Amino acid sequence: MTSSTRPGATVTTRVLVTGVRGKTGVPLAELLAARPDVEVLGGSSTPSTVTADGVLPTAFSWDEPDAWPSALDGVDAVYVVRPDRVDAPGLIADLLAMTAPATRVVLLSERAAEDVPEGTDGWAVRAERAVRDSGRAWTILRPGWFMQVLTDPRFFLDEIAAGELRYSSGGASLAWIDARDIAAVAERALLGDNRDGEVLELTGPEALTLETTARLIAEAGGRPVTHVEIPIDEALTGTEGFERELTRVTFERVHAGTFAVVTETVERVTGRPARTLQGFLDDHRQVLSPGTGRPAARSPRS
Number of residues that bind ligand NAP (CB under 6 A): 24
The least distance separating ligand NAP from the CB of residue 290, rounded to whole angstroms, comes to 25
Range 148-207, binding ligand NAP (CB under 6 A): 149
302 binds ligand NAP (CB under 6 A): yes
123 binds ligand NAP (CB under 6 A): no
299 binds ligand NAP (CB under 6 A): no
CA–CA dist 131, 126 (Å, integer) = 9
CA–CA dist 206, 235 (Å, integer) = 24
Contact 208, 178 (CB under 8 A): no
Backbone phi, psi, residue 124, to 5°: -65, -40
Range 27-86, binding ligand NAP (CB under 6 A): 44-46, 60-63, 81-82, 84
CA–CA dist 240, 257 (Å, integer) = 25
CA distances to 20, 42, 52, 71, 162 from 27, in Å: 9, 12, 10, 20, 28
State the binding string over 92-111 for ligand NAP (x if CB under 6 A, else -): ----------------x-x-
Smaller CB separation from ligand NAP, 44 or 258: 44
Contact 107, 140 (CB under 8 A): yes
The residue length of the chain stands at 302
The least distance separating ligand NAP from the CB of residue 272, rounded to whole angstroms, comes to 21
Contacts with ligand NAP, residue ranges (CB under 6 A): 19, 21-25, 44-46, 60-63, 81-82, 84, 108, 110, 143, 145-146, 149, 301-302
